[in-house]
């Protein structure tokens, strides 16, 4: 019973994590899309485009979680991580191009690729900073624990 419970807990934790990543990635894509539309004098967004963005984000983030190439959880920016960021953002750019989010404009799609890579790097930096702050708190708690116990 505890094994089933443990499995469900692990699954739910993973699912929640993946859903949050999907939402954040969707937000990144939509921000670029809105700026692109606005720069072209359009103030309306296509629901079909947004549907495509949502599914692209959902599928890609789940794939990253399942193959353990999740950029949210990277400890450092090495070659493998750089490859994940480059390839991940490229897939979004290709999806954007073929789903006509940017009216087939290759230059904008390339810009979108760079933007998504930058968004990934920013997210990595934020997660890394969060872990550095957390480590400081952990070490402070450890010191207090050791002092408390050795009094």
Partner 1 sequence: MKYTIEQIVKGEDELILRYQRLNSEVEAALRFMNAPPKKLIGEKNDTQAVIDFADVLYVETVDRKTFIYTADDVFRSELTLTQLEEILNTVNFFRCSKSMIINIDKLTTLKSLASNRIDAALFNGEHIIISRTYASEFRKILKGESSDE
Give residues in contact with partner 1 (CB under 8 A).
6, 13, 72-75, 127, 131-132, 134-135, 138-139, 141-142, 144-146, 148-150
Identify which of residues 70 and 115 has a Cβ nearer to partner 1 in the complex. 70
Identify which of residues 13 and 100 has a Cβ nearer to partner 1 in the complex. 13
Shortest CB 70 distance to partner 1, Å: 8
Shortest CB 137 distance to partner 1, Å: 8
Long-range contacts of 22-30 (CB under 8 A, 24+ apart): 22/54, 22/57, 22/58, 22/61, 22/62, 23/57, 24/123, 25/57, 25/60, 25/61, 26/53, 26/54, 26/57, 26/58, 28/115, 28/116, 28/119, 29/53, 29/56, 29/57, 29/92, 29/96, 29/101, 29/116
Shortest CB 139 distance to partner 1, Å: 5
């Amino acid at each position: 019973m505890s094994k089933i419970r443990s499995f469900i807990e692990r699954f739910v934790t993973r699912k929640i994590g993946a859903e949050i990543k999907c939402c954040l990635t969707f937000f990144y894509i939509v921000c670029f899309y809105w700026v692109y539309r606005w720069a072209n004098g359009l103030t309306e967004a296509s629901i079909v485009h947004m549907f495509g963005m949502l599914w692209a984000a959902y599928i890609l983030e789940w794939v990253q979680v399942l193959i353990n190439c999740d950029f949210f959880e990277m400890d450092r920016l090495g070659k493998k991580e750089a490859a994940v960021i480059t390839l991940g953002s490229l897939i979004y750019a290709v999806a954007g191009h073929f789903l006509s989010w940017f009216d087939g404009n290759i230059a904008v799609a390339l810009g979108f690729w760079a933007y998504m890579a930058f968004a990934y790097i920013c997210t990595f930096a934020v997660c890394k900073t969060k872990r550095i702050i957390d480590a400081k708190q952990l070490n402070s708690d450890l010191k207090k624990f050791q002092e408390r116990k050795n009094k």
